[in-house]
A and B are shown apart, each in its own frame.
Chain A
């Protein structure tokens, strides 16, 4: 019952990279998420967006929020947009309460997240 392991895999599209997230996002996700981000941004254009796909994420706790805050700080420092889609209504509400949604746009689906310029 306690948790499903965090997974992060990168897909590169013409207009940006997508990181497909799975399982639980808590503090233990930090290392894998940072690695996925580096993978996604390693050879690409410096300002191409990175899109986080949350549709296979079951659980995010406050330490997971901290992991996302860390990632968001890094992306902002690089001037790279970080976007999200596939959040459940509950976690979308949490992104609003924590004001993460003020700094990373929340989208309904992948094309919408990639289409934004």
Chain B
């Protein structure tokens, strides 16, 4: 008796990937071959000559001169066969032979099965590690390219939220500084996931960044981005993207949309959609993008979102949907933190044990309803509330004084302390006009008002290069006696009027910073 060869067949696996090394065995019996079912049904040694069915596998077996096939069965699965040629004695296989072979097969089958499972699990672990590694790379690309900090716009509160799915999607958002204090707003979503999506996201982001600084028309920016992305993006992929230009001073938002979710505006009257038509980027060249504009009034919030929100599923398989999101944006006008509201609703909708299917990205841009609101959003660290510039001509110190007074009065400062700050602002601005900028109207004085919950800061900046002299205490007796000139009160007054005065000279600027505590206001 000779054990000619053992045939091995890959275990059919629904969920695990099929491992090539185990499949490449020309002698395997396919599981759709009638012989497969016959061997499984018989369960014991079968003489090839006695098989009457038509089977391609059987033809091959006959050609190889095999006389007896012993199926190896473990837990009801055919995992291989023992195939025997003719006996050396030229005698047919006896009943004892068959018993012996059947016994042997019964012992060998489980051992082979175990060996197969071990190999399979090793391969699966390697594959999992490879996928994890790829996800880490994709997450890294994405995190590197998302903005590290949010822009600080006077009178605006900007918040962003990004939570990647386990299989990192291609969501992104960006803020692009433009001329005249305007800012470019981007939110986008690359179809596909993982490293390929992250790479396309990176390309799209840098393409938009370079085009946005050269064109003021958002439709043109998207059209040019599309032209440049079409040859760069794999055919099956595309990018949805909204691009808008916000003028923080007026609240005007001009925007175009390459097939991305519509932004919603929370306003006093409820909610409105910002519609503009356009095809996703990267699909085909020659696309044109409709441009529309909107005005964000005081207290209004525009919410930009990605698919991860509206396409989230509940336990029953229901989608979150646009209607639900829109309704949410339209209610609870009083609540300022729109992102938290949406996240809370999303958590209620999607049970926590359900995996997040796609990246969830939101950007909320809220125009403060008042200076007070802007300041309270900054917490302990003062943030910019308002900014002014004045040509260096006499009299503008009064404009600065009155305009700063309006802002800080809005922050609740009043009475003596307001009057003191006004005098200090006027004096510091006059110094900037006359000393720092030598009364040259072409040189500007910048005045910034910053506030936190605790403090108000006013920074007055000129283009002077010589250090600001220390405040001397003027000697009134000497002045009255004609021993000193009558002037020289400015810095002395400033220092007396405010809680703290700081001066700095660097990068071709003097800056005088006036600080007042907000306690008691």
A30 to B430, CA, bound (A): 18
A88 to B496, CA, bound (A): 17
Taking the complex as formed, is B182 at the interface, i.e. its CB lies under 8 A from any CB of chain A? Answer: no
B399 surroundings in chain A (CB, below 8 A): 1-2
B8 surroundings in chain A (CB, below 8 A): none
Interface residues of B in 402-417 (CB under 8 A from A): 402, 416
Whose C-beta in chain A lies nearest to the C-beta of B476? A99
* Interface locus among B9-17, B46-54, B152-160, B484-492: B484-492
**Interface residue tally for chain B (C-beta within 8 Å):** 28
Find B427's partner among A61, A88, A90, A93 (CB 8 Å cutoff): A61
Taking the complex as formed, is B354 at the interface, i.e. its CB lies under 8 A from any CB of chain A? Answer: no
A98 to B486, CA, bound (A): 12
* Interface locus among B192-200, B245-253, B418-426: B418-426
Given contacts A2-B395, A72-B480, A73-B479, contact A93 B489 (CB under 8 A): no
Taking the complex as formed, is B397 at the interface, i.e. its CB lies under 8 A from any CB of chain A? Answer: yes
B419 surroundings in chain A (CB, below 8 A): 88-90
Taking the complex as formed, is B111 at the interface, i.e. its CB lies under 8 A from any CB of chain A? Answer: no
Query: Across the interface, do B480 and A69 meet the contact criterion of CB distance under 8 Å?
Result: yes
Whose C-beta in chain B lies nearest to the C-beta of A75? B480
Whose C-beta in chain B lies nearest to the C-beta of A3? B398
| Main SS class of interface, B | helix
Find A100's partner among B395, B476, B487, B490 (CB 8 Å cutoff): B476
Q: Could you say which interface size class chain A belongs to?
A: 20 to 34
Query: Across the interface, do A63 and B487 meet the contact criterion of CB distance under 8 Å?
Result: yes
Given contacts A90-B416, A93-B416, contact A2 B396 (CB under 8 A): yes
Given contacts A62-B430, A94-B493, A98-B493, contact A70 B476 (CB under 8 A): no
Whose C-beta in chain A lies nearest to the C-beta of B480? A73
A93 to B422, CA, bound (A): 14
Query: Across the interface, do B487 and A94 meet the contact criterion of CB distance under 8 Å?
Result: no
CB distance from B420 to the nearest CB of A (A): 7
Query: Across the interface, do A97 and B496 meet the contact criterion of CB distance under 8 Å?
Result: yes
CB distance from A99 to the nearest CB of B (A): 5
Interface residues of A in 86-115 (CB under 8 A from B): 88-90, 93-94, 97-100, 102-103
A1 to B397, CA, bound (A): 11
Find A73's partner among B423, B486, B489 (CB 8 Å cutoff): B486
A88 to B399, CA, bound (A): 21
Query: Across the interface, do A59 and B482 meet the contact criterion of CB distance under 8 Å?
Result: no
A66 surroundings in chain B (CB, below 8 A): 485-489
Taking the complex as formed, is A67 at the interface, i.e. its CB lies under 8 A from any CB of chain B? Answer: yes
Query: Across the interface, do B395 and A3 meet the contact criterion of CB distance under 8 Å?
Result: yes
B115 surroundings in chain A (CB, below 8 A): none
By CB atoms of chain B within 10 A, which of A65, A70, A73, A98 has the most? Answer: A65
Given contacts A62-B430, A67-B486, A70-B486, contact A98 B476 (CB under 8 A): yes
A69 to B82, CA, bound (A): 119
Whose C-beta in chain A lies nearest to the C-beta of B397? A61
A2 to B394, CA, bound (A): 10
Taking the complex as formed, is A11 at the interface, i.e. its CB lies under 8 A from any CB of chain B? Answer: no
A12 surroundings in chain B (CB, below 8 A): none
A70 surroundings in chain B (CB, below 8 A): 486
Query: Across the interface, do B398 and A59 meet the contact criterion of CB distance under 8 Å?
Result: yes
Given contacts A3-B398, A98-B474, contact A61 B486 (CB under 8 A): no
Type the 1/0 row for A68-82, where 1 means its CB is closer than 8 Å to any CB of B.
011011001000000
A67 to B161, CA, bound (A): 59
Taking the complex as formed, is B481 at the interface, i.e. its CB lies under 8 A from any CB of chain A? Answer: yes
Which 3 pairs between the two chains have the least Cβ-Cβ distance?
Answer: A90-B419, A62-B489, A66-B486
Residues of A that sit less than 8 Å from B by CB: 1-3, 24, 59, 61-63, 65-67, 69-70, 72-73, 76, 88-90, 93-94, 97-100, 102-103
List, sorted by A's number, 16 A–B pairs whose CB atoms are closer than 8 Å.
A1-B398, A1-B402, A2-B396, A2-B398, A24-B398, A59-B398, A61-B397, A62-B490, A63-B430, A63-B487, A66-B486, A73-B481, A73-B486, A88-B419, A98-B492, A100-B476
